[in-house]
Chain A
């Protein structure tokens, strides 16, 4: 009986500590004010198909910013393309959308997750660095530059 009680206590402590730690490590970034962010989009042939500033509003996350200016294709729970972007991953480790494609009237980019994907790179003087967050949680503010690049899974990230 004593052993069971100890297990219960240890399990509860570990679960609570993990939830708190994961919440601390998981970032939920939203714009704190209105502004503009420079978006650069590079296709699979290394051609820059979009390079312009787009506006965002207070409270937007980075997915909202893109969704307002582009036609997006997201992943479903089984990583199939979904142009409605209705599915959001919602679990302890990751909350948000997974972006597979982005397009407007001038370009159309679609990746399939298993062979290719969209890498998000945030500019931090003097170069762009791979984001550690997914599209819904990328930190941004007025004047930031974010590059979206099509990458081949087997081709490496650099």
Chain B
């Protein structure tokens, strides 16, 4: 396959995976902090690698802030959102690259839930002037729900979704990146 054809297929793949990420987040937005975003980013990072997943994160953050019917997050919090989601592919391809089982990734997702929420603290406290302890106290329930949601979705859905995505990859020869299985 030529590089050009591969690039077109990669672009299509990134568009499809980003759409899935965006739609599920919107579909589940009636339940605060219950979503499959962490699960999907973990899956993408493990199957299609760091570069493509990072690109998906960038497009997803843009799409959420431009197209969401609930409106964008505050502009000063967009970097926190971007860095927060970017941490998934970054950590899973560096420090935690040996995390491959559903259990280890579920535990990663649990702690990531708290870390992601804490990414919003600097802007909220130093720019929006929200008292730190008030913010932390008001947010802790949402952090906990996000962490548990990540844990359960990864624990139950990571392996079947990974199998599915790898099957599609083999079938259509879409992805050049070869994951370690």
Contacts and interface: CB of A to CB of B under 8 A. Distances in A.
Given A11-B152, A11-B155, 8 more contacts: A14-B151, A18-B144, A18-B148, A22-B144, A77-B30, A78-B69, A114-B71, A130-B130
Interface stretch (A37-45, A56-64, A89-97, A100-108): A89-97
A11 B129 CA distance: 38
B177 interface: no
Contacts of A54: none
B152 A93 contact: no
B134 A79 contact: no
B152 A14 contact: yes
Interface residues of A, number: 27
A11 to B, nearest CB: 6
Contact of A11 (B32, B128, B156): B156
A26 interface: yes
Contact of A18 (B127, B129, B145): B145
Which secondary structure dominates chain A's binding surface? loop
Interface residues of B, number: 27
A52 B156 CA distance: 55
B140 interface: yes
A94 B31 CA distance: 10
Contacts of B31: 91-92
23 contacts: A7-B156, A10-B155, A11-B155, A14-B152, A15-B152, A18-B145, A21-B144, A22-B145, A77-B30, A91-B31, A92-B31, A92-B145, A93-B33, A93-B142, A93-B145, A114-B71, A130-B130, A132-B137, A132-B138, A133-B138, A154-B74, A156-B128, A157-B129
Nearest to B146: A93
Interface of A: 7, 10-11, 14-15, 18, 21-22, 25-26, 77-79, 91-94, 114, 129-130, 132-133, 153-154, 156-158
Interface string B68-84: 01110010100000000
Contact of A79 (B70, B74, B142, B152): B70
B122 interface: no
Given A91-B32, A132-B134, A132-B137, A156 B144 contact: no
A93 B137 contact: no
A25 B148 CA distance: 16
Interface in B134-170: 134, 137-138, 140-142, 144-145, 148, 151-152, 155-156
Nearest to B76: A154
Contacts of B127: 156
Given A7-B155, A114-B71, A153-B74, A93 B141 contact: yes
Contacts of A25: 140-141, 144
B179 interface: no
B155 A22 contact: no
Interface in B19-36: 30-33
Nearest to B137: A132
Contacts of B131: 129-130, 157
A73 to B, nearest CB: 18
Nearest to B147: A18
